[in-house]
Amino acid sequence: MDKVLEINGLTRTYKSGHGSLTVLDSVSFELMRGDTVSIVGPSGSGKTTLLGLAAGLDAPSSGHVKLCGYDMGSLSEDERARVRNKHVGFVFQSFRLIPTLTALENVTVPAELQGRKDAEKEARFLLEEVGLGDRTDHYPAQLSGGEQQRVAMARAFINKPDILFADEPTGNLDTDTGENIVKLLFQLNETAGTTLVLVTHNLELAAKTARIIRLKRGKLVPEQNEAVAHA
């Protein structure tokens, strides 16, 4: 299974007032195992919509998404959830940790949803990996922004995903913390051999991925030869 993500003629239209608004228009591309790609573009260009559709969080108006071999359009909401649980990791701009759970508990959630017995052991290992071995029992409110994002990364990797979607992972962090997080992200990604899809405004960050997909008004801008720079 070399193709991890196949996007074909993806279109998303929203009803707006009396008319309709096309946010994403006939987007197609493919990603292979281990690829790193950034999706860049100005605000409102359809980056987050593309991410949502590619990860099976939303259903397209037309077009197809094939994620890890599954045709997401033919699956029910709950079947898509199972695919995500098994194959997909997420990192959000605003971390999206569950405030009522400790760092350790937040990390275990995806594994526990699979019914894995080693969820806690694996979570502790990952928290050690991200440098938070001594903060396992802390709640999100007791952690700094950078620490919260590290917990979120540990959570994203606990089910050893085939593909990781990161939505502006440094958007809520200061420059230094952001840089550390990016380093960690690429490090974890490389170790796990995960395909990485990064949505960002930050061209410097985008430049760290092997490939850049540009969006403008919902359409794909033809790819140019980017200076490839791995982190």
Partner 1 sequence: MLKWLFTFAWRDSRGSRAKLFLFVTSMVLGVAALVSINSFGDNLRRAIDFESKTLLGADLSMESGEPFPATIEAIIDSLGGIQSRRTSFSSMAYFPKSNTARLATVRGQEPGFPFYGKIESDPPEAADTYLFEKGALIDGTLMAQYDIEIGDSVRIGNATYTVSGKLIQTPRETAAIMLFSPRIYVPLADVDTTLLSIGSRAEYEIYFRLDDIEDPDAIVESLSDTLEAHSIRADTVEEERSNWDQSLTNLYRFLGLVGYMSLLLGSLGVASSIHVYIRQRIQTIAVLRVYGASSHQAFAIYLIQALGMGLVGAFLGSAIGIGLQSMLPVILGDFLPVDVEFSVSWSAVLIGSAMGIGVTLIFAMMPLLDIRNIPPLAALRTDFDQENDRAKNKRAKWLLFGLMALLVTVIAVIQAPTLTMGLGYSATVAVVFALLAGTAKLVMRFLAAKPPSGVSFVIKQGLANLHRPQNQTLMMVLALGFGTFLVSTMIISESTLLGQIDLASTEGKPNLVFYDVQPAQVDSLVKLVEESDLPVIDRVAMISMRLTSVKGISIESMREDTTSELSWAHRREYRSTYRDYLTESETVLEGTFEGRYSGTGLIPLSVEREVAKQLEITIGDSLVFNIQGVDVAGYISSIREVNWRQMQSNFFFVFPEGSINDAPAFHVVMSRTETPEASAMIQAMVVKRYPNISSIDISVVLTVFQAIFSRISFVVRFMALFSIITGLLVLSGAVMISRFQRIEESVLLKTLGASRRTVLQIMTTEYFVLGVASSFTGVLLSLAAGWGVSRFVFEANFIIPFGPILLLIASVIGVTIVVGQLNSRGVYDKEALDVLRKET
Q: What CA–CA distance (Å, rounded) separates 150 from 156? A: 10
Dihedral sign, Cα of residue 97, residue 55, residue 119, residue 126: negative
Q: Are 135 and 147 in contact (CB under 8 A)?
A: yes
Applying CB under 8 A, among 1, 2, 18, 99 the residue interacting with partner 1 is 99
Applying CB under 8 A, among 2, 78, 134, 176 the residue interacting with partner 1 is 78
Binding of partner 1 at residue 122 (CB under 8 A)? no
Applying CB under 8 A, among 11, 13, 61, 85 the residue interacting with partner 1 is 85
Task: Specify the DSSP class assigned to residue 170.
Answer: T
Cβ proximity to partner 1: between 132 and 161 the closer is 161
Cβ proximity to partner 1: between 80 and 208 the closer is 80
Q: What CA–CA distance (Å, rounded) separates 132 from 151? A: 8
Binding of partner 1 at residue 167 (CB under 8 A)? yes
Binding of partner 1 at residue 98 (CB under 8 A)? yes
Q: Are 116 and 166 in contact (CB under 8 A)?
A: no
Cβ proximity to partner 1: between 55 and 181 the closer is 55
Q: What CA–CA distance (Å, rounded) separates 179 from 175? A: 6
What is the arrangement of strands in the sheet containing 19-32, beginning at the earlier edge strand? 19-32, 3-16, 62-67, 70-71
Side-chain-side CA neighbours of residue 187 (13 Å): 12
Binding of partner 1 at residue 162 (CB under 8 A)? no
Q: Are 35 and 186 in contact (CB under 8 A)?
A: no
Binding of partner 1 at residue 109 (CB under 8 A)? yes
Binding of partner 1 at residue 81 (CB under 8 A)? yes
Q: Tell the smallest beta-carbon distance from residue 98 to partner 1 (Å).
A: 5
Applying CB under 8 A, among 3, 11, 66, 112 the residue interacting with partner 1 is 112
Q: What CA–CA distance (Å, rounded) separates 177 from 174? A: 6
Q: Tell the smallest beta-carbon distance from residue 124 to partner 1 (Å).
A: 17
Binding positions for partner 1, rule: CB under 8 A: 14, 48, 51-52, 55, 57-58, 77-78, 81-82, 84-86, 90, 92, 96-101, 105, 109-110, 112-115, 155, 167, 172
